[in-house]
Amino acid sequence: MDDTPFAPPVTFMGVPHRSAPGDAKAVVLGLPFDCGAHPHRIGSRLGPSAIRKQSLLIRRYDAETGIDPLASLRVIDLGDARVQPGAVEASYRGIEAALDVALSNGAVPLTMGGDGAIALPEMRALHRRHPSLAAVHLDAHTDAYPIDGHNTATAFARAVDEGIIDARRSFHIGVRSSLLVPHVYEYGRQLGYTIVSTEELLRRGIDDVFAQVERIIENRPVYLCFDMDVFDPSVAPGVCTPAWGGLSTREGLAALRACGRLDVVGMDVNTISPPHDPGDMSAFLAAHVMFEFLVMLAQRARGAGSI
């Protein structure tokens, strides 16, 4: 407590709120945008605020390593990008501008969606600093559909069209369930992506699949896109497009930890929809996914001798 009569804004895990990254090695940024096109399941524009609120339940120290990633990485919360739900082009410009600030001093941005459409402007911003960018996309859907336009189903297709991602070294992992249009997986493979279904992931094992990921990507910079519907709706019901047959909490977190061997230069956690989230359980899980990622970053920085 201090003598200021006003409470500070709610931030991720109570980290300081700043308007510039300064000396932070990781920054949190909210992207409260959704396309507003779903006939009855709209709400991911409220995701960042719900995740921030639930993050206050998480303690600072990782039980396994003893690391306090918030202190180690000097994490700050930049607040939310200036967006307008439903206005795709204007919001994409706002997201890119916010990411440019987040990346300006070399920090790793950890963003909160928003729906899956936020991936495209994030990849644009990351590509400007990392031209050989690859993607690891954990999601029940590829978001690389053979349809036109900018929406939640096309972010990774447009990324190939724009030449901002190396699809031959990029992965969609955890796909399953029903599809909006036919031949989606065939189209994704034609674009160059490697597609691993949930069934294949669990049959081969997480270690084997991510050994392939590491072998193909090597030391290239990686954009890690974590759509919360990669989890089964029994553990993450409050997402934009739930799909049965997904990962358990333990499996999803194991897949995340397997990404620790990659050079992740930016991550987003998206599709939390608070109006569909009983007990805020999905938002709480999303906050924990973010915490686990920060622990991974702190371990990587410690191994490199930079903290």
H or E, element range at 199:
helix 198-204
CB contact at 8 A, 227 and 178:
no
C-alpha span between 221 and 228 (Å, rounded): 22
C-alpha span between 50 and 10 (Å, rounded): 10
For 32-102, list the strands marked E by DSSP: 76-80
**228 belongs to a structural domain:** yes
Q: Which domain does 112 fall in, by range?
A: 12-303
**3 belongs to a structural domain:** no
Handedness of CA 182, 185, 190, 193 (dihedral sign): positive
CA 119 to chain centre: 8
**272 belongs to a structural domain:** yes
Evaluate if pTM is beyond 0.85.
yes
Give yes or no for a cis peptide into 246 (omega within 30° of 0). no
Query: Domains in the chain: how many in total?
Result: 1
Position 3 scores a pLDDT of 75
**4 belongs to a structural domain:** no
First to last CA, the chain: 29
For 237-293, list the strands marked E by DSSP: 263-270
CA dihedral 167, 93, 31, 166 (to 10 degrees): 10
**1 belongs to a structural domain:** no
**246 belongs to a structural domain:** yes
CA dihedral 51, 114, 247, 172 (to 10 degrees): -140
CB contact at 8 A, 162 and 132:
no
C-alpha span between 226 and 236 (Å, rounded): 13
**7 belongs to a structural domain:** no
Per-residue pLDDT of the chain (307 residues; tens, 9 = 90+): 567 788 889 999 999 999 999 999 999 999 999 998 777 789 999 999 999 999 999 999 999 999 999 999 999 999 999 999 999 999 999 999 999 999 999 999 999 999 999 999 999 999 999 999 999 999 999 999 999 999 999 999 999 999 999 999 999 999 999 998 999 999 999 999 999 999 999 999 999 999 999 999 999 999 999 999 999 999 999 999 999 999 999 999 999 999 999 999 999 999 999 999 999 999 999 999 999 999 999 999 887 666 5
Question: Of the candidates 246, 247, 230, 241, which has an alpha carbon nearest to the alpha carbon of residue 273?
Answer: 241
Cβ count within 10 A of residue 104: 13
**5 belongs to a structural domain:** no
Kindly report, residue by residue over 245-265, the tens digit of the pLDDT.
999 999 999 999 999 999 999
Q: What CATH number did the domain enclosing 203 receive? A: 3.40.800.10
CB contact at 8 A, 20 and 250:
no
Tokens 């990659």 found at:
262
Question: Of the candidates 233, 116, 231, 113, which has an alpha carbon nearest to the alpha carbon of residue 180?
Answer: 116
C-alpha span between 280 and 224 (Å, rounded): 24
CB contact at 8 A, 10 and 64:
no
Position 180 scores a pLDDT of 87
